Amino acid sequence: MDFAFYTEVIVRLLGAVPTTLELAFVSVAIGAVMAVGLAMMRQSRIAALDMFARGFIFVFRGTPLLVQIFLIFYGLSQFPAIRQSWAWQYLREPYFCAILALALNTAAYTAEILRGGLQSVPFGQVEAARACGMSGFTLYRRIILPIAIRQALPSYGTEVILMVRSTALASIITLMELTGVAQKINSETFRAIEVFICAGAIYLAINFLLSRVIMALEYWLTPHLRAPKIAAAPATNGVAA
């Protein structure tokens, strides 16, 4: 075992972790906002909005993410009109294109997860809320969203973990995140097995931590599903419970 080599590789790989996390969290955040919009379009009874959201979701879930990244990063540069527009300063940046593609991709998946959550809200609850005089935003904030979010959280957790995995694709358009750095070390040292296993272990650690956070969130959001606490024994230190 060549510990000096492993230490060096792991230190260099850890240096790329912030980029990976940044890619994942920024795109997940933007994707979540877009997903709310898409899910609301799907729920709205306006045919044009519904069709648009359906089409968007169909295309982004039915094609590989790498094709979407290439289409945005390489494809758009084909048009002189885009190269001369204000948008070009962003669209020529691999970082921006990677975030855009990841966000659009996760928006499509998340919209369907959200829609599933919204559909799981029992109609009686909405009816009862309306009968109490709640409407619009209050109804969403107090009744619909809490139920829908609880329902959607496990699938959403899986989607966030999938997004951390997907950030690896950004390395193909030259971005130096975790996989990009691993590939660079591999091409310098030709020790593929060691380098990629180290990188895999780091991804695994990130996703393990993330899954714990999501589990904690689930626990926190579902107090009504926990077993009731048995009344505590009288306090022994003289302080009232």
Q: What is the DSSP string of 29-71?
A: HHHHHHHHHHHHHHHSS-HHHHHHHHHHHHHHHHS-HHHHHHH
- 192 forms part of the interface with other proteins (CB under 8 A): yes
- 70 forms part of the interface with other proteins (CB under 8 A): yes
Q: Token pair for residue 59? A: 């295309």
Of residues 151 and 179, the one with the C-beta less far from other proteins: 179
- Residue 21 C-beta: closest distance to other proteins, Å: 14
Rounded Cα–Cα distance for residues 57 and 34 (Å): 11
Binding segment for other proteins (CB under 8 A), chosen from 22-30, 66-74, 89-97, 111-119, is: 66-74
- 43 forms part of the interface with other proteins (CB under 8 A): no
Rounded Cα–Cα distance for residues 177 and 20 (Å): 5
Q: What is the DSSP string of 99-136?
A: HHHHHHHHHHHHHHHHHHHHHTS-HHHHHHHHHTT--H
Of residues 63 and 119, the one with the C-beta less far from other proteins: 63
Compute how many other C-beta atoms are within 10 angstroms of the C-beta atom of residue 133: 8
One of 193, 232, 235, 241 touching other proteins (CB under 8 A): 193
**Nearest CA among 60, 59, 19 for reference residue 170:** 19
One of 14, 71, 87, 215 touching other proteins (CB under 8 A): 71
Q: Which positions ≥6 away from 8 have C-beta within 8 Å?
A: none
> Segment 160-179, which members bind other proteins (CB under 8 A)?
161, 165-169, 171-172, 179
Task: Determine contact, residues 144/118, Cβ cutoff 8 Å.
Answer: yes
- 207 forms part of the interface with other proteins (CB under 8 A): yes
- 154 forms part of the interface with other proteins (CB under 8 A): no
- Residue 62 C-beta: closest distance to other proteins, Å: 4
- Residue 110 C-beta: closest distance to other proteins, Å: 17
**Which residues are at the interface with other proteins (CB under 8 A)?**
58-59, 62-68, 70-71, 74-79, 161, 165-169, 171-172, 179, 182-183, 186, 190-193, 196-197, 199-200, 203-204, 207-208
